[in-house]
Structure 1
Amino acid sequence: MTVRLLDDVMAGYLATADDSTSCGIAAGSLPNRDDEAGEDYIQHTEKITSNTQRRSISDVVIMDVRHPGGAVLLVFAALLVTPPPPPVGAAPALDPQKELRVLNNLIGKVEKTMSVVGRGTKTLDKILTDMESRFDALLQNVTRLEQQRDGLMELSDSCGLNDAPLAGDSGTAASEADDEGVTAGPTTTAEAPRVKDCEELLPYGLTQSGVYTIYVDNRPVRVFCRLEDGVDAWTVIQRRQDGSVNFNRSWADYKTGFGDPAVEYWLGNEIIHQITNSGDYYTLYIYMEDWDPEDGDAPRHIQFDEFYLDSAATGYKLRLNLLRGGNIQNAMYYNTGQPFTTYDRDNGGYGANCAKRYGGGWWFYGHACVYANLNGNYVQGGHTQNGVGLVWLYWRSPDWYSAKVTEMRIMKRDASIPVRQP
């Protein structure tokens, strides 16, 4: 019993001791210190001493005092020495108040960050909602555009405009023609800057002939550009080479254009009118190729330094002046000043529709009609009778001769060249 009591007292003391030197006093009721208790007393004293050695207690003093009541009061005192220094490398003791301030500061920053994130989340939700609304509106616009496209396709089919060139169509073949002849080769269908004619492609380093997109009155138009050595750039307004496209077309077709620029096509009277009346002066170059170039008959060409078309109100009258020269006689002499005629609109005023008689659409002149008609019916073999074909009078005089290949090309000219008034 004595040993257990002292153990409890000593353990309580040691648990409450803190720094430096401390003194603890505990008392417990013990039986009289007589012989029969001597063994327990000695055992307890040894145990206390042993425990205090482990707890760094320097000494233990045990006294007994006789209490008047007959009980023995055991008193002990424990003197603590300064604890040994911490081992090398151990972390310094932490300041609880300082650590608490740091922790509170971190908590404040986290709360502030969470507040900012919360506001950002609300903003993001608003942006996503707005984007969803715009996307829905875009889908509705796409649906309307598809409906309009389908309606235009139906209208085009009903009006016979399905051969008209559309932006984005790709060509399949081309004829590379120059003053020395025609060389067959693949067509270059290229994306180009926003230009109004082929000459404006040159500053961008485009030097290969082919199909390009130009913009006329802010509308994309596919044309064949004849680019020659990076110096000259001709916009081709008419192209014939194999008879694959029917040129016996209506007034509407000739107004808007038809065919494939990579093979055969007519650019369109309205487009030609807008280009040649845009403030620049244009020259016209006409190229024609024989059916039998091996007989020594070189390709023919003729050039005029003034070319433009009047408006639709005048019937797209031809204005052609300032003959530059060429290697063939001028069969277009009588055509200048004439309005354009098709089989369904006779603007000649001579009582006979030349387009019905000879085919195609052209600036026919008088009752004779065909001094030249490069839009006529395609005829194989060259020689023709009665003016039917891609005819040019005076080529193989006195007969009409139908060319194998023709191109009508336009390009800006030097504005210093004087212009003859019509």
Structure 2
Amino acid sequence: MADTCMTSPNDGMIISANAIQKQLKALVVRVAELNDSMHLNRTCDAFGHRNTTDELNPRIEKLYTGCHQLFSDGYVNSDVYRIWIFLGYRFISIFCDMETVGKYSRQRGWMVIQRRKNGEVNFDRGWNDYLHGFGFPSKEYWVGLYNLDALLHQKRIGTVENNLALRIDLTDWDGAHAYTECNSFYINPENDDFRITSIGTCTGTPQIRSPMAYIVGKTFSTFDYHSNTIRSPECLRLQRGGWWFGSCRHSNLNGVYATKEEQMTVDKIYVKHWKKVNSNNTSLRYVTMKLQ
């Protein structure tokens, strides 16, 4: 926009149009900050953990819609940052992984939507908690299905880039690591139970691509809400937490956290074929799901 001027009818001051734009942008940021402060009144959920939108970040005078934008602007440390959500006109707190380079984008800066690292946060929760999110972005957390849908939705409405890539990193207690990265992650909204309709083309560790690809077409479910007719009563009894399940024997990254003495089993955090990655079939220590 050209730096045109206008005259105030009150005092004859010459006001730059660019200056007005900057003032309006600052006002948007301030309104969002006030919205954040209102959320602070509900500090804890039923499990004693703050909602993911309540963990404040250092003041940043810009609206960022992704961690890769933050990285490009010089915020190179992996940390919790506020990401702007057009849908709802608000911020959410997201842990940004600034170290991992995308296989497709060749860029750093990933929005972590799920994180497991020590079992500190209880993931054995019902539908309402998985809708709204729980835990701490700086520690362990689930971003929430509403927030996940909003992050993906703002891509689809053309406000920023096209569909997001999904990357999943897995590390067991022996240190064995595997990952899969898919270039076009897409879910349907709540009226279809957040069904995954696409993950695009995937790369990464061959042994885990198949169980991760199996989630396509599956709806999200929990112990107290499920529309998935494939799940047997035994599956409902064994697998805790919320996930795009399908049958029992493929994956559940939101399952019960296992100790280093345990092997991977279907009733804990589970990925089919992990024994092909590590013959000891050791349980997972670190899990992250992230978007770019």
- Give yes or no for TM over 0.5: yes
1:163 paired residue number: 49
Cα offset for 1:202? 2.7
Equivalent position amino acid for 1:303 in 2: E
Question: Do the aligned partners of 1:191 and 1:212 also contact (CA within 8 Å) in 2?
Answer: no
Normalising by structure 2, report the TM-score. 0.72
2:255 paired residue number: 376
Equivalent position amino acid for 2:164 in 1: Y
Q: Does 1:208 pair with 2:58?
A: no
1:283 pairs with one of 165, 181, 188: 165
Equivalent position amino acid for 1:312 in 2: E
Question: Do the aligned partners of 1:165 and 1:261 also contact (CA within 8 Å) in 2?
Answer: no
Cα offset for 1:165? 2.6
Cα offset for 1:200? 2.2
Equivalent position amino acid for 1:371 in 2: H
1:180 paired residue number: none
2:287 paired residue number: 406
Instruction: For 1:393 and 1:204, locate their aligned partners in 2 and report how far apart those are by CA, in whole Å.
Output: 39
Cα offset for 1:324? 2.7
2:194 paired residue number: 316
Q: 1:383 to 1:371 in 2, by over 3 A?
A: farther
Q: 1:167 to 1:313 in 2, by over 3 A?
A: closer
Q: 1:357 to 1:229 in 2, by over 3 A?
A: closer
Instruction: For 2:164 and 2:214, locate their aligned partners in 1 and report how far apart those are by CA, in whole Å.
Output: 20
1:98-138 per-position Cα deviation (integer Å, ceiling 9, x unaligned):
xxxxxxxxxxxxxxxxxxxxxxxxxxxxxxxxxxxxxxxxx
SS across alignment from 2:249: coil
Q: Does 1:252 pair with 2:128?
A: yes
Instruction: For 1:215 and 1:341, locate their aligned partners in 2 and report how far apart those are by CA, in whole Å.
Output: 27
**Within-5 A mapping of 1:48-87:** none
1:345-383 per-position Cα deviation (integer Å, ceiling 9, x unaligned):
0121236354542111000113xx231111000011265
1:344 pairs with one of 211, 214, 224: 224
**Within-5 A mapping of 1:111-122:** none
Question: Do the aligned partners of 2:39 and 2:53 also contact (CA within 8 Å) in 1?
Answer: no
Number of residues of Structure 1 aligned to a counterpart in Structure 2:
237
2:16 paired residue number: none
1:326 paired residue number: 204
Q: 1:328 to 1:165 in 2, by over 3 A?
A: farther
1:202-226 per-position Cα deviation (integer Å, ceiling 9, x unaligned):
3421111100111222122111001
Instruction: For 1:382 and 1:319, locate their aligned partners in 2 and report how far apart those are by CA, in whole Å.
Output: 37
Q: 1:249 to 1:381 in 2, by over 3 A?
A: same
1:2-48 per-position Cα deviation (integer Å, ceiling 9, x unaligned):
xxxxxxxxxxxxxxxxxxxxxxxxxxxxxxxxxxxxxxxxxxxxxxx
1:387 pairs with one of 266, 270, 280: 266
Cα offset for 1:168? 5.1
Cα offset for 1:245? 0.3
Equivalent position amino acid for 1:393 in 2: K
Q: 1:351 to 1:324 in 2, by over 3 A?
A: closer
SS across alignment from 2:149: helix
**Within-5 A mapping of 1:349-360:** 349-350=229-230, 352=232, 354-360=235-241
Question: Do the aligned partners of 2:112 and 2:291 also contact (CA within 8 Å) in 1?
Answer: yes
Equivalent position amino acid for 1:363 in 2: W
Cα offset for 1:321? 2.9
Q: 1:373 to 1:168 in 2, by over 3 A?
A: closer
1:317-342 per-position Cα deviation (integer Å, ceiling 9, x unaligned):
11343333112421122211100011
1:369-419 per-position Cα deviation (integer Å, ceiling 9, x unaligned):
2311110000112653651222111111488653100100110xxxxxxxx
Task: Give the number of the structure whose residues are more often helix, by fraction.
Answer: 1
Equivalent position amino acid for 1:208 in 2: N
Cα offset for 1:191? 3.1
SS across alignment from 2:254: coil
After superposing on structure 2, the runs of 4+ consecutive aligned residues of structure 1 that deviate more than 3 Å are 350-356, 382-386, 397-401
Q: 1:402 to 1:191 in 2, by over 3 A?
A: farther
Question: Do the aligned partners of 2:165 and 2:291 also contact (CA within 8 Å) in 1?
Answer: yes
1:307 paired residue number: 185
Root-mean-square deviation over aligned CA pairs: 2.7
Cα offset for 1:304? 0.8
2:245 pairs with one of 358, 364, 384: 364
Instruction: For 2:221 and 2:280, locate their aligned partners in 1 and report how far apart those are by CA, in whole Å.
Output: 24
Normalising by structure 1, report the TM-score. 0.51
Q: 1:166 to 1:236 in 2, by over 3 A?
A: closer
